[in-house]
Amino acid sequence: MDTFAFIIHPIDPKRDVSRKFPLLGKYLSVKQINFFSTFFPPVYISEIHGLRSAATHKEISGWFVACPYTPARMLELPERTVYRKIIQTGRLAEGLGARLLGLGAFTSGIGDAGITISKHLSIPVTTGDSYTVAMAVEAVREAARVMEIPLGQATAAVVGATGATSHTALTVTYWDDGSKTGDKDVWTLRCNPAAGTLARPAVACRRLNAGGWRLVAPVPAGSICTQIYGGPQVARVVGYLQGRRVWARFTRQDGCQIARWNRLAPWLLPPGGVTK
């Protein structure tokens, strides 16, 4: 039997936690749920059965498993911490017998959209994006069949190529002192055409178009970094870059992180530096 698992997480903290843990949802505030979610283990939610593939007629079963982090907590915690919790949830799925893992909601947009997570698991990892592409291809095939158009002799056009699958739209949140989470600045950027509250958006769009994903990629695991302190500044970049979901956190805590920050300064992030 083919099996799968799908990772979900609380969206509305009070409502969603109450469904699985009624007492916690009743007595804990949203702020407390966000805080305590850091310490919760992955949660088994339910089993899915009674599915059958229309193509192969095989019976398919699966499980919903939950990463306990709320969206607010995912945005506050270091990227590697969030990775670890999602990987733990993936290992719970492996233990249940899943042969394929789907990342749902915010878990599919953290960091490099599942690439790092898949390297730490023994089963394939996918996101909703691949499902969307598969359904689009299937829709083209079905339309060709209904209209009696031989696909081998047809020419297809993609309408909306600058839409959600290829656009750049980012929100940058900046803390001059990362220890003071309430004191922050936020600006936005959209490309094609360049717009947003970021100063000189056209310059930022040109640089992002040239540098692509490497500009926001995390420091590779195992990197040897000089222990140089570059300042208390913290920034978070979320949204889409060339159609690819981005969730990236930037600090200036060591040489690797400073170099990563400087790739985006001063055209997307402020220069940063040690303050007195």
Residue ranges of domains in the chain, CATH in brackets: 2-130 (3.40.220), 169-262 (3.30.350.10)
Distance of CA 123 to the CA centre of its chain: 19
Q: What is the pLDDT of residue 30?
A: 87
In tens, the pLDDT along 125-150 reads 998 776 777 777 888 888 888 988 88
DSSP 8-state code for residue 195: B
Question: ω before 266 within 30° of 0 (cis)?
Answer: yes
Contacts of 98 (CB under 8 A, 6+ apart): 3, 4, 5, 62, 63, 123
Tell whether pTM > 0.75.
no
Kindly provide the b/e burial profile for residues 196-234, where b requires at least 16 CB atoms within 10 angstroms of the residue's own CB. Answer: bebeebeebbeebeeeeeebbbbeeeeeeeeeeebbbbb
| Residues of the chain under the 70 pLDDT cut | 1, 111, 130, 158-166, 274-276
Q: What is the pLDDT of residue 73?
A: 79
> 268: how many CB neighbours lie within 10 A of its CB?
26
> Are residues 125 and 118 in contact, defined by beta-carbon separation less than 8 angstroms?
yes
Q: Where are the alpha helices (DSSP H) in the chain?
A: 13-20, 22-27, 30-36, 71-76, 79-96, 115-119, 128-146, 201-211, 255-262
Any bridge partners for residue 169, and if so which? 190, 240
> 39: how many CB neighbours lie within 10 A of its CB?
7
Q: What is the pLDDT of residue 34?
A: 83
Helix (H, G, I), strand (E, B) or coil at 131: helix
In tens, the pLDDT along 182-217 reads 788 999 999 988 999 999 999 999 999 889 888 998
